[in-house]
Amino acid sequence: MGDESEWIKLPIDQKCEHKVWKARLNGYEEAAKLFQKISDEKSPEWSKHLGLIKKFVTDSNAVVQLKGLEAALVYIQNAHVAGKTAGEVVSGVVNKVFNQPKVRAKELGIEICLMYMEIEKTEPVQEELVKGLDNKNPKIIVACIETLRKALGEFGSKIVQLKPIVKVLPKLFESREKAVRDEAKLLAVEVYKWIRDALRPPLQNINSVQLKELEEEWVKLPTSAPKQTRFLRSQQDLKAKFEQHQATGDEEGDDEEDDVPVVDAYELLEPVEILLKLPKDFYDKIEAKKWQERKEALEALELLVKNPRLESGDYSDVVRALKRVIGKDSNVLLVALGAKCLAGLAAGLRKKFQTYAGHVMPTLLEKFKEKKPLVVQALQEAIDAVFLTTTLQSLSEDVLAVMDNKNPSIKQQAALFLARSFCHCTASTLPKSLLKPLCAALLKQINDSALEVRDAAFEALGTALKVVGERIMNPFLADVDKLKLEKIKESSEKVELVHGKKSNASKEANVGATGKGCSASSSGDKADASATRTGVLSKKTSANKSAGASKKMKAVVPPSGPSGKGKKAVEIKEDLSIEVCEEQAAAILPATCLQQLDSSNWKERLASMEEFQKGVEATEKKSLPCQALVRMLAKKPGWKETNFQVMQMKLHIVALIAQKGNFSRISAEVVMDGLVDKIGDIKCGVKAKEALTAIAAACSLPWTAEQVVAMAFAQKNPKNQSEILNWLAAAIKEFGFAGLNVKAFISHVKTALAATNPAVRISAVALLGVMYLYMGAPLRMFFEDEKPALLSQIDAEFEKMQGQAPPAAIRRVAKHDADEEEATEEQDDEENGNVQDLLPRTDIGDKITSDLVTKLGDKNWKIRKEGLDELCTILNEAKLIQPNIGDLPGALKGRLNDSNKILVQQTLAILQQMATAMGPNIRQHVKHLGIPIITVLGDSKSNVRAAALTTLNLWVEKTGMKEWLDGDDLSEELKKENPFLRQELLGWLAEKLPSLRTVPTDLGHCLPHLYSCLEDRNGDVRKKAQDALPTFMMHLGYEKMQKVASKLKPASKDQVLAALEKAQAVVPAKPVVPTKTSSKSNAGAARPVGAASARVNCASANDETDSFKSDAKKGKSTGVASKLKSAPNKKVPSKPIVKDDDDRSGPLFIIIPNAKEQRVKDERALKVLKWNFTTPRDEYSEQLKTQMSSCVAKWVQDEMFHSDFHHHIKALTVLLEHLENEIEGTVACLDLILRWLTLRFFDTNTTVLMKVLEYLKLLFTLLSKEDYHLTENEGNSFIPYLINKVGESKDVIRKDVRSILNILCKLYPASKMFNLIMDGLKSKNSKQRAECLEELGSLIEVHDLNVCQPTPAKALKEIASQIGDRDTSVRNAALNTVVTVYNICGDQVYKLVGNLSEKEMSMLEERIKRSAKKPSTVSVKQEEKTQRPPGTNQNAGMPRKGCEDVPSKLNQARCNNAQSASESTHTIPREFQLDLDKIENDNHAGRCELPDLVQHQLDELYEPVCIPEPKKSFSFSTL
């Protein structure tokens, strides 16, 4: 008992660590009681025992350990900090508890593990349990398996990760211990409950007896999906729901089954590397002449691709070999075998095969010409496997290319492929833009002469109908007759979709509309759905048949559903006889009106037209028979009407009918000839255009425009042709550009440009200008063959449109059925599409011959260069190309690795050309050609890397970033330990990622390699990795990145986590998702978002310019005002301006106290980059943007840092507008503004540079009036870059720069200016050196030698060294500057300039002799200043500080100095001279009262003066 007395009074924590087991036992018991008493889970008491929990479970005494386990369980259940101990405690449980013989210990250990899972620590628990499966003790293995099984059974597959469990199952079945195998069997059964057949592939290689036993157990399992019975702390709502169901005994609804995640067996498999396992002679054998050898190679490959999951790699050579076998091998058995290999490869790689899908699709489709079932079946399997690796969108062009093939087998199999592909689609993955061309091709095939082709087309159309619903398919089936529609409906009912959509026709409309398959909520909804369902597929009513004389069925329109609102008269979309038209017209028009239509008296015809108009206006829209009325108008005299008044009324009525009724294309065809004939008429042309516009609104502009333009150019009337083109140009602006047949219009425009009539040519050029707004630069490519004079007119028109945004569409195509809203959305989608997709493109696939590919791969570099030159010629001739480029990707990929760097650069140039020519379709080649471009970023030569980066950015501009971030390609590139590649790639990602709203999850694969870059031995790589961290965190989140970092080695882990903490503070905000304006609420502004915003910005900029003009007229700076007057005024819509004002209200600058001083401190402490560079790098721009984010309005930043120079001009315009009103904010952010202006100095656009200089002149003028003086930080970060622009080739720029330097002398000390200008003499630009010398001469002339820094002697020696320069202007400027010094100090100048060569000295002496200036008196000197002609000095016209503004006292002092200098033979030492410039520029007026003395008038000297008390001020004695 003596021992007990020692520990009985110890605190609990000390008892738990005591050496005596009884003490520990007592400590654990007391701890358990204490833990149960603590009610607050966040109590600080929990943290005191945090480090003891592992000791609770790992106690060496079995009895004590039981108590410790009980205490640990209570702790984990109640403490909020318990999660921190998960890893170490579970590890202790696995190693020290599961091996205990006591059952209770094992149960407590399992419960502890499950409790950790309940408090959201599933990952570390599962990780430790899986580690325990590798333990040598079978007891531990069995306990770990049992724990995993219980966890899965209670928490479900959403919480417990199945992949690591399935991965170890085969190994467990191979164990020697029966207990392990039996427990593994139970675990496999439990896993099967959750994922079903997905478990079969991973276990296919276990012992057959074991597999049979498992099969027997699996069969016994219930078919219903298992449910989660234990819930996490964050799932308490689910727990309450589950308990409620348990209490009431109700079964949970079928919708709960959706909670069970669908597990793909593919994801559970380990990838197999097969490229290294290929026979060494595989590529030789597969090209062997003997078919047996080719078969051997294919059989070896087939064996490898049978692996369900393949490791990613470069399979391009394998795919190319298989493509050759399938396409060219004469042995059909080998073709079938090759197709099987390709199918296995696609199935094993899945998404990673997407790179190769576009290359093999044409070959597979073309090979369907083989009719042997063995080959056809293998090809079908292959093409289906390829489809599953990519999207139908990317394969659609290849399929459409063979839909018109002459071989019926190819057409049949293409249609069947579409049918099978549609089964895998949903309404969202089968958009209208994709469905439209596919349906058009299939509709041609339903009229094919071959029965099998027709049946396949019906099947495909039926499947599409089943997927998207009848409402979306109706427009595409408008011209199909009723029998074929019935057959399509029949096929649709037989289809079973992969996504489990039932064949229930009553739900088709709802599924098509919502994509969710929701049933109708009311009987009325069901009735509407039924009506919609039967619309397209219903027969015509007998009433329409008996009406007689129906000629050709144009469309079948759905009758109205039983809504109870009365009958709805629908426009009959078929040709009606004249009798039927008269009957229908008589129902709404008076008899006299119809009788007088063909009267010989024009007054009666005019009266008839008036009654006709009244009848149309009085009739309801639903009851207006449009076709009948327009046929009545076309009756004799019809469109040959001679009286212009009657004709104007007739045209007006046509427009009225088109606007008011359900106007069909049949009705439009009746009147269109007459409208085209009258559009060139002087009196009726306006009415004809109005009627055409109304028809375009009713029948769509693309169709109307195509018809009328073709009619106009079929005539020979140039007036009609000219006016049609003018109307089309105006209509495009009103309706937008979506859906227009660009190829046809370009053909007609070329015809118009070749016309002899100048009016037609002018109209054609004007139309091209409008088209340029929407199509941009690619439009010009189609007119490069025109005559130079005509081409110059086109260029001039394009130049007018440069920088303008397309106008907002103010008209919409009218819709006359229940699908109006859907059609509007479709039109919005079309308008938002890429207009470049409308451009006609050339297929160069036939020109990419095998000879060309062989040349590109030749061993001789000269032949390889010939191949590249030939390819370049092909691209130049084609201009715009289709994505079909044959075997070219593989050949070009090889050239990117060429040992000859010149060929690498040429290849990169070709890839740039391809991106421009192919447009957005280049995305198909990203994986095969784009990723190798990234590899080139690792080249050791900087020029090659720069070319690769340019190419990469151009490709991304065309494709977007999604294709580049998908898959493991980027992570594989980042994995390479190439410092150049890593730093370039990380810099590129850091630039691109902040602009993305979402990224694929595959980006997370780059994290381990990103972390390794943080520890790279190369400093630049580490810096780039640190810069990239915030951009990765922006998308992946801190938690996910921390989770990946926690798996690193301890040494690396700490460093990476510290970097993550630092990066978390500077994570950029994600871009805001642009909101789409509703077309109903604002029809006038309904247009593509990007174009609309650009127009708003443009309007804002114009308004701001206009308002600044009025302000500038009143202001003092007349030069700026005069420039702004010349800016063109533009009318802009009022609505966008109101919106723009709402969005951009408030000041441009936010004044933050001491922010400028803090930025200076940060730069001095090297916390940020010092603003000193030869060429600005991206990090400088990003740093400036970050600094501006807190003090400059967001929308202004967007303009300032936009990649387009037009936005820079807008930003400068806004700064000019707000300058006078926000002078305080401008001063507060002046250092940032000046730095941004220095970046603009490096732009190549002259307009931007002129705008910058204009802003600077006004800015510095206002600052000088405000008596502001630049700080040293502001001057040093701006003036050197301004001095660099003084050497510009354009005189107007140099003049503005000199003017700004002149103003700067009032804001910045002249002595410091002198130093900065002296640095400008180091430039290689001779014009800059000459201008700098002129500036130095002016400074010396104004401020005397005191301005020379560091001393006059050193400065003059540097200036005199320029006398020997090669450039004449530099020599003259240097001589003039030295002469200026001579005029000040006389012969002393020879001593100051130092030793010169004999030639230079003679030049100087000659120039001094010729100089008209004499250093005798200052009066002579000043007289010469005022009378000096402008040609003597380029700076003569610019007033310098000190010429007019220097006070008279200072001038007098200078006179005295100059006179004494001329009388004495020596110069006063600098330290004894009075620094007049310092006095003049002294900011602290309180300490120097000299300016006040200057302002006294002479009369005041006679007044009595009181002697003031002594102050710190200048006395005349100092002078």
| pLDDT of the residue at 322 | 92
Q: Among the listed ranges 327-336, 1020-1029, 1472-1481, which one has the minimum average pLDDT value?
A: 1472-1481
504 or 1018, higher pLDDT: 1018
What average pLDDT does range 334-352 have in this prediction? 91
Residue 217 CB neighbours (<10 A) = 14
Q: Identify the residue whose tokens are 């009143």.
A: 1114
pLDDT category of residue 1503 using cuts at 50, 70 and 90: low
Q: Among the listed ranges 520-524, 737-741, 1448-1452, which one has the minimum average pLDDT value?
A: 520-524
Q: Which helix (H) or strand (E) holds 669?
A: helix 665-678
* Sign of the four-CA dihedral 154, 157, 161, 165: positive
| pLDDT of the residue at 378 | 92
Whole-angstrom Cα distance, residue 717 to residue 1103? 43
Amino acid type, 457: A
| pLDDT of the residue at 1506 | 61
CB 773 within 8 A of CB 801: yes
Residue 107 CB neighbours (<10 A) = 12
**41, pLDDT greater than 80:** no
| pLDDT of the residue at 952 | 92
What average pLDDT does range 65-73 have in this prediction? 88
254 or 1269, higher pLDDT: 1269
| pLDDT of the residue at 538 | 35
The pTM of the whole model exceeds 0.75: no
* 3-class secondary-structure state, position 1149: strand
Amino acid type, 572: I
- Percent of the chain exceeding pLDDT 90 equals 9
| pLDDT of the residue at 1502 | 53
**828, pLDDT greater than 60:** no
Whole-angstrom Cα distance, residue 398 to residue 66? 70
Q: Which helix (H) or strand (E) holds 321?
A: helix 316-328
pLDDT, tens digit, 9 for 90 and up, residues 304-320 = 998 888 888 888 889 98
209 or 17, higher pLDDT: 209
| pLDDT of the residue at 1081 | 35
**924, pLDDT greater than 50:** yes
Displacement of CA 588 from its chain's centroid (Å): 56
pLDDT, tens digit, 9 for 90 and up, residues 167-177 = 888 888 888 88
Highest mean pLDDT: which range of 580-584, 768-772, 829-833, 981-985: 981-985
607 or 1425, higher pLDDT: 607
**342, pLDDT greater than 90:** yes
| pLDDT of the residue at 839 | 62
pLDDT, tens digit, 9 for 90 and up, residues 112-145 = 999 988 888 888 898 899 999 988 899 999 999 9
| pLDDT of the residue at 1085 | 34
Q: Among the listed ranges 87-96, 546-555, 729-738, 1343-1352, which one has the minimum average pLDDT value?
A: 546-555
pLDDT category of residue 1387 using cuts at 50, 70 and 90: confident
| pLDDT of the residue at 1472 | 53
Whole-angstrom Cα distance, residue 501 to residue 514? 13
What average pLDDT does range 757-781 have in this prediction? 84
* Per-residue H/E/C for 2-22: HHHHHHCCCCHHHHHCCCCHH
Highest mean pLDDT: which range of 533-537, 907-911, 1099-1103, 1363-1367: 907-911
* 3-class secondary-structure state, position 843: coil
- Percent of the chain exceeding pLDDT 70 equals 79
| pLDDT of the residue at 813 | 65
pLDDT category of residue 1447 using cuts at 50, 70 and 90: very low
CA-to-CA separations, 736 to 651, 806, 1136, in angstroms, rounded: 24, 8, 17
| pLDDT of the residue at 341 | 94
pLDDT, tens digit, 9 for 90 and up, residues 677-708 = 888 888 888 988 898 898 888 888 888 888 88
Q: Which of 621, 639, 640 is nearest to 630 (CA)?
A: 639
Residue 483 CB neighbours (<10 A) = 8
Whole-angstrom Cα distance, residue 1113 to residue 1123? 11
Q: Which of 813, 828, 812, 819 is nearest to 475 (CA)?
A: 819
Mean residue pLDDT across the chain? 77
**448, pLDDT greater than 80:** yes
| pLDDT of the residue at 814 | 59
**1379, pLDDT greater than 60:** yes
**1182, pLDDT greater than 80:** yes
Whole-angstrom Cα distance, residue 1420 to residue 419? 99
Percent of the chain as helix, strand, coil, to the nearest 5: 70, 0, 30
| pLDDT of the residue at 383 | 93
DSSP 705-768: HHHHHHHHHHS--HHHHHHHHHHHHHHHHHH-STT--HHHHHHHHHHHHT-SSHHHHHHHHHHH
| pLDDT of the residue at 1095 | 34
pLDDT category of residue 555 using cuts at 50, 70 and 90: very low
| pLDDT of the residue at 804 | 80
pLDDT, tens digit, 9 for 90 and up, residues 151-171 = 988 888 888 888 888 888 888
| pLDDT of the residue at 1105 | 38
**Sequence-distant (≥ 6) Cβ neighbours of residue 321 within 8 angstroms:** 282, 283, 286, 287
* Sign of the four-CA dihedral 1058, 1064, 1067, 1070: positive
CB 1386 within 8 A of CB 1353: no
What average pLDDT does range 1463-1468 have in this prediction? 43
| pLDDT of the residue at 1507 | 63
| pLDDT of the residue at 337 | 93
**1290, pLDDT greater than 90:** no
pLDDT category of residue 531 using cuts at 50, 70 and 90: very low
pLDDT category of residue 936 using cuts at 50, 70 and 90: very high
**1420, pLDDT greater than 80:** no
| pLDDT of the residue at 1410 | 81
pLDDT, tens digit, 9 for 90 and up, residues 611-641 = 888 888 888 777 788 888 888 888 777 778 8
| pLDDT of the residue at 575 | 66
pLDDT category of residue 664 using cuts at 50, 70 and 90: confident
**343, pLDDT greater than 70:** yes
Residues forming a β-bridge with 1149: 1192
